[in-house]
């Protein structure tokens, strides 16, 4: 009667006593893996300046996170290793103009984790998507730098390493490289009174392969969509937000274009431009800032898409994904409250279901 199990065991705990193998860091890691092909594509198209900017942004996001944790006397290592700050910096870098100067990456990275995340209480507590908070802060504060686009040049025509460093750290982009995005061009020309039919008489400059000016990581549409489908297959995200968001952009675009093609871009141009695909699969699906019920996710995604179209079509800025996502983030708690799933044995209002007595 004196075997070790006769006396108290080391661990008594509440059920369950089994656990699925998953953790926050594996979730983040899978998202990063899904994001990697499109990122490498961005590096390929936009060359060394994009790589430097990506590194600076990610490093700043991590530094901002670490500094806040130290100030709050929290454990730094586990929080940095969960990968959430890295992913925030990464997504921000994907949404920046690829040849933006170094301080854009640094200010943005710090802003994302310090103001966008830690000021709210850290992981899981932020109301707004930190990467989009930083992007919008930068766009509002430095509109000229944040809309200085370059065309993708591939490897041959891209600047060398030395010239790249001077682009990132020196100052401005050589004029020879600057270009305009489809959305930017449409907005500018429409504001000058030129119709879309005249502006794009040669056909719309859309590209599935991502050979177009745009943010560093938003142009590789096919690779982004493939990454998004991989996330769906790994059950990291569900289809509700991406599909609702893409339809939320496409349906009003279809209607608008059918009514007045001289004023409204078609659905294809909307989906293949800007951050529509990146936003639908990687940004709007951020767990922390989106609703958790399926119905809520449909409402949220549709809202993101519709607001993106509204801002693109009527707003002051050519691109609207970041603003749309932030606006819907603000609504997410309300959506969560209003779109609760029906509980087993209860009706939608939460009252026990009534049985229709047949006898």
* 84 is a contact residue toward another protein (CB under 8 A): yes
- Of 338, 337, 335, 318, nearest to 327 by C-alpha is 335
Q: What is the DSSP code string of 266-288?
A: -HHHHHHSTTHHHIIIIITT-TT
Smallest gap from residue 331 Cβ to another protein (A) = 15
CA–CA distances in Å: residue 298 to residues 72, 194, 232, 310: 37, 36, 15, 18
Nearer to another protein, 52 or 126 (CB): 126
* 144 is a contact residue toward another protein (CB under 8 A): no
Smallest gap from residue 59 Cβ to another protein (A) = 23
**Residues 6 or more apart in contact with residue 54 via CB below 8 angstroms:** 39, 43, 90, 93, 105, 216
* 2 is a contact residue toward another protein (CB under 8 A): no
Kindly write out the interface string for residues 286-325 of this chain, putting x where it contacts another protein by CB under 8 A and - elsewhere.
-xx-x-xx--------------------------------
* 20 is a contact residue toward another protein (CB under 8 A): yes
* 354 is a contact residue toward another protein (CB under 8 A): yes
**Dihedral sign from CA coordinates of 295, 297, 299, 305:** negative
Span of 107-115, 157-165, 190-198, 350-358 interacting with another protein by CB under 8 A? 350-358
Smallest gap from residue 340 Cβ to another protein (A) = 6
* Residue indicated by tokens 């000058």: 192
* 89 is a contact residue toward another protein (CB under 8 A): no
Among 18, 144, 233, 259, binds another protein (CB under 8 A): 18
* 9 is a contact residue toward another protein (CB under 8 A): yes
Smallest gap from residue 279 Cβ to another protein (A) = 19
User: Is 319 buried (19+), middle (13-18) or exposed (0-12) by CB count in 10 A?
Assistant: buried
Among 36, 70, 124, 174, binds another protein (CB under 8 A): 124
- What 3-state class would DSSP assign to 179? strand
CB 154 within 8 A of CB 162: no
Return the ∠ at Cα 42 (arms to 186 and 131), rounded to 5°: 75
* 3 is a contact residue toward another protein (CB under 8 A): yes
* 214 is a contact residue toward another protein (CB under 8 A): no
Nearer to another protein, 2 or 191 (CB): 2
Q: Report how far residue 202's alpha carbon sits from residue 204's, in angstroms, rounded to the nearest whole number.
A: 7
Looking at residues 269 to 288 of the shown chain, list those that interact with another protein (rule: CB under 8 A): 287-288
* 353 is a contact residue toward another protein (CB under 8 A): yes
* 233 is a contact residue toward another protein (CB under 8 A): no
CA–CA distances in Å: residue 216 to residues 99, 152, 219: 8, 10, 7
* 243 is a contact residue toward another protein (CB under 8 A): no
Looking at residues 23 to 82 of the shown chain, list those that interact with another protein (rule: CB under 8 A): 23-24, 26-27, 78, 82
| Pairing outcome for strands 149-150 and 178-179 | antiparallel
CB 275 within 8 A of CB 215: yes
Smallest gap from residue 342 Cβ to another protein (A) = 6
* 19 is a contact residue toward another protein (CB under 8 A): yes
CB 208 within 8 A of CB 42: no
Nearer to another protein, 124 or 174 (CB): 124
Smallest gap from residue 6 Cβ to another protein (A) = 5
CB 109 within 8 A of CB 137: no
Q: Report how far residue 152's alpha carbon sits from residue 211's, in angstroms, rounded to the nearest whole number.
A: 6
Q: Report how far residue 85's alpha carbon sits from residue 60's, in angstroms, rounded to the nearest whole number.
A: 10
Q: Tell me the number of residues near another protein by CB under 8 A.
A: 50
Provide the binding-site residues for another protein, judged by CB under 8 A.
Answer: 1, 3-20, 22-24, 26-27, 78, 82, 84, 122-125, 238, 287-288, 290, 292-293, 336, 340-346, 350, 352-355
């Amino acid at each position: 009667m004196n075997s070790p199990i006769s006396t108290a065991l080391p661990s008594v705990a509440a059920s369950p006593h089994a656990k699925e193998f998953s953790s926050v860091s594996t979730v983040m890691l899978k998202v990063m893996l899904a994001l990697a092909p499109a990122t490498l594509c961005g590096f390929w198209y936009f060359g060394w300046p994009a790589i430097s900017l990506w590194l600076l942004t990610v490093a700043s996001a991590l530094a901002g996170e670490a500094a806040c944790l130290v100030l709050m006397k929290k454990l730094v290592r586990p929080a940095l290793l969960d990968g959430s700050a890295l992913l925030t910096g990464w997504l921000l870098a994907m949404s920046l103009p690829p040849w933006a100067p170094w301080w854009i990456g640094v200010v943005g990275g710090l802003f994302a984790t310090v103001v966008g995340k830690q000021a709210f209480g850290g992981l899981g507590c932020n109301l707004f998507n930190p990467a989009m908070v930083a992007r919008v802060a930068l766009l509002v504060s430095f509109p000229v730098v944040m809309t200085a686009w370059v065309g993708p040049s591939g490897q041959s025509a891209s600047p060398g390493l030395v010239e790249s460093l001077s682009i990132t750290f020196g100052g401005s982009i050589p004029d020879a490289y600057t270009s305009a995005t489809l959305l930017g061009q449409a907005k500018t020309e429409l504001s000058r009174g030129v119709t879309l039919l005249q502006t794009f008489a040669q056909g719309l400059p859309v590209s599935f392969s991502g050979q177009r000016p745009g943010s560093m990581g938003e142009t590789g549409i096919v690779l982004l969509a493939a990454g998004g489908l991989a996330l769906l297959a790994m059950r990291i995200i569900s289809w509700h937000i991406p599909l609702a968001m893409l339809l939320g952009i496409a349906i009003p675009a279809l209607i608008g274009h059918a009514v007045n093609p001289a004023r409204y871009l078609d659905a294809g141009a909307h989906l293949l431009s800007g951050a529509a695909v990146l936003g639908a699969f990687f940004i709007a699906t951020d767990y922390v800032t989106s609703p958790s019920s399926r119905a809520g996710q449909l409402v949220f995604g549709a809202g993101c898409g519709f607001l993106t179209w509204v801002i693109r079509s009527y707003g002051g800025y050519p691109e609207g994904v970041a603003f749309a996502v932030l606006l819907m983030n603000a609504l997410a708690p309300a959506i969560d409250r209003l779109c609760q799933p029906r509980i087993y044995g209860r009706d939608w209002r939460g009252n026990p279901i009534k049985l229709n007595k047949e006898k």
